[in-house]
Amino acid sequence: MIDVVIAGAGPNGLMLACELALAGVRPVVLERLTEPHDAQRANGLVGQVIRMLDRRGLYERLLAPGTAPTPPEPADRFTFGAFPLHLGDLPDNPLYTFLVPQQRIERMLAERAAELGVDIRRGHEVVGLTQGEKSVTVELREQAPIEAEFVVGADGGRSAVRKLAGIAFPGVTTDDSVSRTGHVSVPPDAVGADGGLTVPGFGVVPPFQHLRTERGLIAWVPSQDGDPKLLTVEWGQPAEGEASLDELRASARRVLGADITLGPPTGPGPHLMRRLFGGNTRIAERYRAGRVLLLGDAAHVHSAIGGPGLNLGLQDAVNLGWKLAAEVRGHAAEGLLDTYGSERHPAARRVAMHTQAQSLLTRPGGDVTALRELLGELLDQPTTRQHIARMLSGADIAYDMGPATGPLVGHWAPDLPGLRDLTRTARTLLLDPTGTLDPGPWSAHVDTVTFPGLDTALLLRPDAYVAWQGTTNDGLHEALATWFRPA
């Protein structure tokens, strides 16, 4: 019997497969498509996930060839609700960004999964699930069924696994907007040194930022290794037929009140020309039904504004991986696997909240303009920008660690010299500045590292959250018992 079947070979499913493999579990990944998807989707990474990938040794694999493998640095600027968000003056800037196509992320994770011995089976479509007391039978289209101890649905917003498991997907659907996105070309002299697009009769459309007018939204995304992209969002502008460059050009004219000289893309492709109507914000009623769990878009969908999707989904994978592995290997504490939903469901609600708020801030209308005027005043305050940066990055998420106490407990571990090298194995870490602490009967589950320079010892879960801190053994064993059975 297979330990874990993961339905879906997107970034989230592959990341979970890598995490399970690091913990000694060999999952099987089933993917409906026979070949990797070549459609243009996410353009990069935003938030804590960048540092998490760095802590697993994966960030450097995404760098362009010849780039020095230096740790990531926080961004000096970002965007929130079509406002420029200046971050360079913040005392603690937690917001990291990394412009990298989703296809490259998937390719890197697939290569890493293969190195770890993960079995990825393409052309395998899940059509049925039958749960037993100790296993799940996975029925496949035109192939023999597979039996697994657990099944994880990482198969997207239309998740077959979620539907087969009978998990509700409540939320809201909007249908009054239309977004158009396409690869384009523009005259070379229209792009400034900072990447901004100069539009005669309007001014400059800044790069990598949503720009709102009273008629709609526009975004200009230059690229170093391919064609640039242009995006528009309008309300009350229905469209029919196949999306086209002429349609995108006309939409940009309406939003800006001026013409952009747009031509077809000139690079090798694949090229994107897409039209989407409305949007969905939905969160699964629960993340677990017996031996079936949900991950990434199968568990939550929301607006793409601000690019939070991969941050949320990949962090789901890192949270679930070590817990599911502990359950499979028989050393999970009672109720450990249920903490996946109790910890990550609120994180999804928070992303749904701020993406809905940002979407409302981009709509046309005098009432929205008045609201934006007020928020613009608040964004002049560093404390407001600090709060929003923490929210967008996911750094404001704190978990309940049971009996453990301390200012760092429940929060993501701070960056410490040498920590990124220790976290590559996805093991629980006890960072002990005294060299005297003893995990006792939990030693098999913990790597104890003498770590001079700390004021207090830190117990880090494999997902890099602080589970305990202290200076003596007091409370250490109680904290370990929250997560693991004694060896």
pLDDT digits (tens, 9 = 90+) for 71-80: 899 999 999 9
Inter-residue contact 429 to 459 (CB < 8 Å): yes
The residues, ordered by sequence, that sit 6+ positions from 355 with a Cβ below 8 Å of its Cβ are: 281, 302, 303, 304, 305, 306, 308
pLDDT digits (tens, 9 = 90+) for 277-289: 988 999 999 999 9
- Of 46, 4, 45, the C-alpha closest to 26 is 4
- Residue 333 CB-half CA count within 13 A: 14
Q: What are phi and psi of 200, to 5 degrees?
A: -55, 135
Domains of the chain: 2-170+281-393 (3.50.50.60), 174-279 (3.30.70.2450), 411-483 (3.40.30.120)
Write down the pTM of the prediction.
0.95
State mean pLDDT over 399-408.
Answer: 95
DSSP characters for 135-148?
A: -EEEEETTEEEEEE
Question: Which amino acid is located at 243 in the chain?
Answer: A
pLDDT digits (tens, 9 = 90+) for 167-206: 999 999 988 899 999 999 999 999 999 999 999 999 999 9
For residue 5, pLDDT beyond 90:
yes
